[in-house]
Amino acid sequence: MTKSAKWFFEPKNHLIEDNKVIITTEPNTDFWQRTYYGFRNDNAHVLYNTITEKYFSFSVKVSFKYKELFDQCGIAIYQNSENWVKAGIEFHDNNTMWLGSVVTNNGYSDWATTDIDSNVSEMWYRLSRRESDFLIENSYDGFTYRQMRVFHLMQGNDSINLGLLACSPSKSTFDAVFTEIKMFDCVWGEHNCLGDD
């Protein structure tokens, strides 16, 4: 993150270096809007930069040691309380964690997950932007990436607030460590609906 990075809900304890960020979460922090559960949470920790570039890719390595149910960290786009995205790993129990993402458009959140082993303690994420369309991918080694989801952000056509996310929805706290933070030319190519012929 650059020196111009800003906080949404700054934690009491954090470390920001040239290519390393540590966020120590505070209890009862989370993002969610309305859908199914009925509640609205809007206080996760996000260290972000405002990006005006319409075509780019961003990647980061995230390391963690979760403690309690729903502890989570990863990446986020936070436009406002009713339009945002988060992607990462969320702690479930000693056998399972959820690798997933939430896209919130116009005040309603969705949630897409897949189960992964609870022994995982690090993950790479790559987010690519093509105007207001986005691709999120994950990697276990920083080289081979696999698609998590493609989505459209209703308020994502102009500048976006892209950053590093960590939170603890229950009464927990942990350190989320972000390294290998990179921004580069978009690797998500334009779709050719006619195929290769």
Q: What is the pLDDT of residues 142-176, one digit of tens each?
A: 999 999 999 999 999 999 999 999 999 999 999 99
Task: Tally the C-alpha atoms within 13 A of residue 153's C-alpha that lie toward its C-beta.
Answer: 32
Residues 26-65 have pLDDT tens digits of 999 999 999 988 889 999 999 999 999 999 999 999 999 9
Q: Tell me which of 193 and 163 has the higher pLDDT.
A: 163
Give exposure, 24-55, as e/b (b: 16+ Cβ within 10 Å). bbbeebbbbbeeeeeeebbebbbbbbebeeee
In a domain, 32, yes or no: yes
User: Considering the domain boundaries, does residue 1 fall inside one?
Assistant: no
* Per-residue pLDDT at 185: 98
Domain-located, residue 196: no
With respect to residue 191, please indicate whether it lies within any of the assigned structural domains.
Answer: no
Number of folded domains that form the chain: 1
What six digits make up the tokens of 42? 């809007």
Range with the poorest average pLDDT among 2-6, 45-49, 88-92, 125-129: 2-6
What is the CATH classification number for the domain harbouring 153? Answer: 2.60.120.200
pTM of the model as a whole: 0.95
Q: Could you list the residue range(s) of the whole structural domain that residue 153 is in?
A: 6-184
Structural domain contains residue 40: yes
pLDDT in tens, 76-101: 999 999 999 999 999 998 889 999 99
